[in-house]
Structure 1
């Protein structure tokens, strides 16, 4: 079991103990306010963990405290992990950013684009100016939908995904066949829409390697990094340690719920989701984040090239939409903030109004998990909580403000 090990005082790495105390006080205030059940947070700088804390509750009803090695549904923080797996195949020359997606998934060739709804309720489609590319796929600019992320019941793309039963697919090949029946939301590269693109990437990894996404990531990433508690299912040794999932709307109390977004699989499943499927711990994800900061190497072994890491944490947005603003939950894309591979990249932090260093790469998850890596300041943070809340606190932004105030050198 991978545990978080504090190896430095904050002052040893140019942070302040007072700042870390403020960080803990802030998270405790959110627990006391009832916005989150608890949180695990890890801060590392210059390759050394200088702060790790578990605050609040694993399960509120029993007053069970949260522990550093508890497990979490990390939902969309799966996406950066899938990026690393995909870029391993880029290193091997298996795909290029300007490849059509259909080069690797022929069933997605000939996709059409939604134009308008006709008076009789039917949908009019037009020919795509070009088929979606891999670069568009990794930046949510290809035009694919999600069906889970768009709450508008009249949205024609989500409606098409529901009609095709995209989320009823037994495995990733079946899912791709169903997606192929749905129109794109816009001409590829013309706009931004949070999408199923990372699940499509999982299917591409399976097609290129001839193995399941879960086996590929386990063999090529999790095992080398010592991420022993990260899986697409709840491992037997983590079942009791998986934090209780809560739901909260507005000022209502936290309510324990079953996973509303996807099943909590207790055994390997044929449909591992590269966009949302992983269970992990703060310790494991810290190992992954440090791997990104270290340029793709671990214990002197190169798992990804430095150029691949550079591509992940560089602006990959199409020129036509770089100046526009888009949001997905707490993540914003706009002036000073672009998309790298499966995550946000700060190209101009001052313009974005963020305290982070240039080149910072970050993402979060639907149940309140968050992380970022900042190469300029050689700093990372991983945070974990378990509450589905459309209007919950922006833990990533708020903890960034505190941590960057504590930098002393």
Structure 2
């Protein structure tokens, strides 16, 4: 592992990254590896520790997807069931087709149902308002800031941009899936995560590390780049600033080792989280032809390169 660790150390030394933790294991768990490098709160000199807490951002989506599929495994809901009874705030959203000559939004009624499968595969008709000029304009006309709102309903209670099941767009639909899990289980998504991942020995996955004395001091500082490429501490609001809900699409925090435990359980299909057939289904194509086309177009776009890398 010397070459890998040298490369990571050089990346920190050259200012390419403030810190990194690399974890690995094999199928039966007989091999484990973890290495931490860099500073916990850049540019302070305190070194990062193995138990550092990362903001997971969109990596939270995997955890929420597993929680939703766990609800399906328990028979509480079906993948192709209509979610609208449980999520009436989403159900009432029309489809935004653009703006007329008077700059008024053109809104049409949705025809198709919205299913859990569509929420989990970003094919439910939604997208992030920050990624769509029509939605950004719609929000601006109402005096709202794109991507704002302390709850899932307030942040993502916005018009759809296509008929559910007929396309694909990266979106907050998994945040809605998380809200569905909460309403089906009568508990918060944070509580669901704790119960679901406990058999793996996971203790750090949470939406609220600041409420846990054992975790709050281990949360890493967020670092951004200046236009010149220099690393500087972030001083702007983050995705989680002001949140009062558990945002299943971006709000999670975890150590890398705990996140690896979840990944290992799914990849090894060890039955600790989901039924074997459910895990197998996770790796099978789920999108219609139009959805596949739009997904590939997104991945080839500058926005796709920015989001996915």
What is the distance in 1 between the residues matched to 2:269 and 2:213?
Answer: 32
Is 2:194 the counterpart of 1:184?
no
The answer on whether the counterparts of 1:90 and 1:308 sit within 8 Å (CA) in structure 2 is: no
**Alignment partner of 2:251 out of 261, 274, 277:** 277
Count of paired positions: 302
What is the distance in 2 between the residues matched to 1:47 and 1:196?
Answer: 35
**Alignment partner of 2:44 out of 58, 62, 66:** 62
The answer on whether the counterparts of 1:166 and 1:175 sit within 8 Å (CA) in structure 2 is: no
TM-score, with structure 1 as normaliser: 0.66
What is the distance in 1 between the residues matched to 2:118 and 2:16?
Answer: 35
**SS of residue paired to 1:53:** strand
> Displacement of 1:42 after TM fit?
0.6
> Displacement of 1:328 after TM fit?
9.2
What is the distance in 1 between the residues matched to 2:26 and 2:283?
Answer: 18
Deviations 1:61-85 (CA, angstroms, capped at 9, x unpaired): 3222112111111111111000111
Is 2:163 the counterpart of 1:193?
no
> Displacement of 1:22 after TM fit?
3.1
**SS of residue paired to 1:43:** strand
Name the residue aligned to 2:134: 156
Instruction: Pick the structure with more strand per residue.
Output: 1
Q: 1:295 to 1:46 in 2, by over 3 A?
A: closer
Q: 1:188 to 1:207 in 2, by over 3 A?
A: same
Is 2:190 the counterpart of 1:214?
yes
What's the Cα RMSD here? 2.9
Where do residues 281-360 of structure 1 align in structure 2 (5 Å cutoff)?
Answer: 281-297=255-271, 302-324=272-294, 325=296, 326-327=298-299
The answer on whether the counterparts of 1:110 and 1:131 sit within 8 Å (CA) in structure 2 is: no
Q: 1:329 to 1:273 in 2, by over 3 A?
A: farther
> Displacement of 1:225 after TM fit?
2.0
Instruction: Pick the structure with more helix per residue.
Output: 2
Where do residues 10-409 of structure 1 align in structure 2 (5 Å cutoff)?
Answer: 20-48=1-29, 49-148=31-130, 150=131, 155-160=133-138, 163=142, 169-172=149-152, 174-175=153-154, 179=157, 182-221=158-197, 223-234=198-209, 235-258=212-235, 260-263=237-240, 270-297=244-271, 302-324=272-294, 325=296, 326-327=298-299, 394=309
Deviations 1:75-110 (CA, angstroms, capped at 9, x unpaired): 111110001110111102222222223143133335
Deviations 1:190-246 (CA, angstroms, capped at 9, x unpaired): 33211111110111011111111111221222x222211111111211222221211
**SS of residue paired to 1:101:** coil
What is the distance in 2 between the residues matched to 1:330 and 1:25?
Answer: 31
**SS of residue paired to 1:83:** helix
Deviations 1:20-58 (CA, angstroms, capped at 9, x unpaired): 333323323332332210100011123334421111221
Deviations 1:138-180 (CA, angstroms, capped at 9, x unpaired): 11121212234x2x6xx122344564678654544x438x61x
What is the distance in 2 between the residues matched to 1:28 and 1:188?
Answer: 46
What is the distance in 2 between the residues matched to 1:126 and 1:69?
Answer: 49
What is the distance in 2 between the residues matched to 1:107 and 1:311?
Answer: 29
Q: Which consecutive unaligned segments of at least 5 residues does structure 1 have? A: 1-19, 334-389, 395-409
TM-score, with structure 2 as normaliser: 0.86
What is the distance in 2 between the residues matched to 1:128 and 1:34?
Answer: 49
Q: Which consecutive unaligned segments of at least 5 residues does structure 2 have? A: none
